[in-house]
Amino acid sequence: MSGTSNPERLSTGVDGLDSILHGGLIAGRSYLIRGEPGTGKTILGTQFLKAGVDNGETALFINLEESEADIRQNAASLGIDLAGVEFLDLSPSANVFVEDQSYDILSASDVEKEPFIDAVTEAVSTLDPDRVFVDPITQLRYLTPDEHQFRKQAIGFMQYLTGQGATVMFTSQNTSETPDDDLQFMSDGTIQMESQEMGPTITVPKFRGSDADRGTHTVSITGDGITVFPQMKPLEHSREFKKESVPSGVPEIDELLNGGLERGTVSIISGPTGVGKTTLGTQFIKQAAGRGERSVLYLFEESYSTFRERNESIGVPISQMEDQGSLHIREMEPLNLSPQEFAHQVRTEVEEHGAEIVMIDGINGYQLSVQGGHDTLIRKLHALGRYLKNMGVTVIFVDEHQHVTGEFSATNSGVSYLADNIVFLQHVELNGELQKVIGVLKKRTTKFERTLRQFEITEQGVTVGEPMTDLRGILSGSPEWREPTKQTTDE
């Protein structure tokens, strides 16, 4: 069946990996799982076998290193029940290997006399397995006099198993002393598992007979086993939505924005610390809750308790919004979160829970989860923003710059070109006092008011003044009254 235009697919037991493989492994073929110890190769193999058992298939684990008891115990600690999996325990503790002997896999005339070959052929002929996991095949090196014989026997081993109709996963131990590059040529596909600074990753450099998603994907190993978070492909996601303005509920802000922020756009709220960026973004969420819409807020730089108390003190009913299901808040720990895992969380909120506003506070904290340079940050934010726009979600990114007054900059992260809208807040010295102003720097889809207004956060919430047309030099941090206007005011 593997030669047909639509070959049969088998689940790997990991949904994210199945997605990367466009449906799973092609049945009747062999796949190499590469990686250093501790990267999750054996866990992946056990989930592959468990998926087969759950599907009514026969699954065989040929263990050449760890004992069956240890494997079952380790799997159980991850919540993987291997009760229906058959084992062929050929680990050293099973006394199968005989020192200084060499076995010619499935080609010697006296194969039935060799304990290793006899055990394999008996198990395969008796069980007729649909899935086989061999862990690790590199243990056969100890049964061969040289690399040529090892390669020959490994190829024969795989051909025998697939020839019996099995789909095979096999692992290798790649070291500088015994590289496994040659094993990649004998497999139909290679799944590479690595431990990197950002955490475990998985790639698929080779997959015969089908496309597979390239790039580096994130792996999480928890008490539930392996979870794979594929790289986001925003162009594959879209849905119809009504193009309309999303108001803030503060008339003066909506005047600045010509009605509000548009659905399916990305907005950046920029400004220095303490100026009210998060409060402004939350104002849009509050107004959406009044319309019965759901929002999700990701806090990368502030604790949940501080955020809730601060907003409720100015009349924003955070707890009530949460209770009624119109707001979901996630306090994030960026150093324990990959961009792919975060994107998966966002997709779940949008596709399963109907979030219509997504707010990320803020970009600097999110960049810690990216654990890369500026170019990596731009790519991840672009992909996430593009996906959300395609889904008709109103996106708010909060970006903090370092200058409290003066030296105005649109954003600190250099991501302004990703935004459809840029709203900025700034501290200024006015009449001997430090005050705040709000303005709109950019709107792609509609016109906007090109003036600045005074911005204040009070016990009653956000208040915004009339356009400050009589001042100049506001963005420098030290505005001055225009002379003619000052005389008119004195009158």
CATH number, domain with residue 162: 3.40.50.300
The last residue of a domain, from among 176, 207, 230: 230
What's the average model confidence in pLDDT over 451-466? 92
* Per-residue confidence band for 410, with pLDDT thresholds at 50, 70 and 90: low
pLDDT for the residue 388? 96
> Is residue 54 assigned to a domain?
yes
The pLDDT of residue 111 is above 70: no
- Domain assignment present for residue 1? The answer is no
Q: Say yes or no: 317 and 295 in one domain.
A: yes
Residue 27 lies in a domain: yes
Residues 249 and 353 in one domain: yes
pLDDT in tens, 2-15: 344 578 899 999 99
Within this chain, do residues 208 and 264 fall inside the same structural domain, yes or no? no
- Do 55 and 182 belong together in one domain? yes
**Mean of the pLDDT values across residues 344-360?**
96
Among 230, 248, 270, give the residue marking a domain's end.
230
Q: Judge whether 3 lies within some domain.
A: no
Q: How confident is the model at residue 362 (pLDDT cuts 50, 70, 90)?
A: confident
Is the model's pLDDT at 130 over the cut of 60? yes
Query: Does residue 137 sit in the same domain as residue 48?
Result: yes
Evaluate if residue 338 carries a pLDDT over 90: no
Percent of the chain with pLDDT over 70: 84
193/305 same-domain check: no
| Span 68-76, average pLDDT | 93
Query: Do 214 and 287 share a structural domain?
Result: no
- Residue 4 confidence (pLDDT): 44
Mean per-residue pLDDT for 65-82? 92
pLDDT-based confidence at residue 64 (cuts at 50, 70, 90): confident
Residue numbers of the domain that contains 403 = 236-490
Q: State the pLDDT confidence band at 198, using cuts at 50, 70 and 90.
A: confident
Is 331 found in the same domain as 183? no
Domain boundary among 208, 230, 252: 230
Same domain membership, residue 43 and residue 99? yes
99, part of any domain: yes
pLDDT at 403: 58
Name which residue leads in pLDDT, 15 or 428: 15
In a domain, 2, yes or no: no
Same-domain check for residues 72 and 169: yes
Residue 181 resides in a domain? yes
The per-residue pLDDT for 143 is: 67
Same domain, 180 and 287: no
Question: Is residue 189 a contact partner of residue 153, using CB atoms and an 8 Å limit?
Answer: no
Once rounded to an integer, what is the mean pLDDT over residues 394-422? 75
Counting the structural domains of the chain, the total is: 2
**4 within a domain of the structure (yes/no):** no
Q: Are 292 and 437 within one domain?
A: yes
pLDDT value for 107: 41
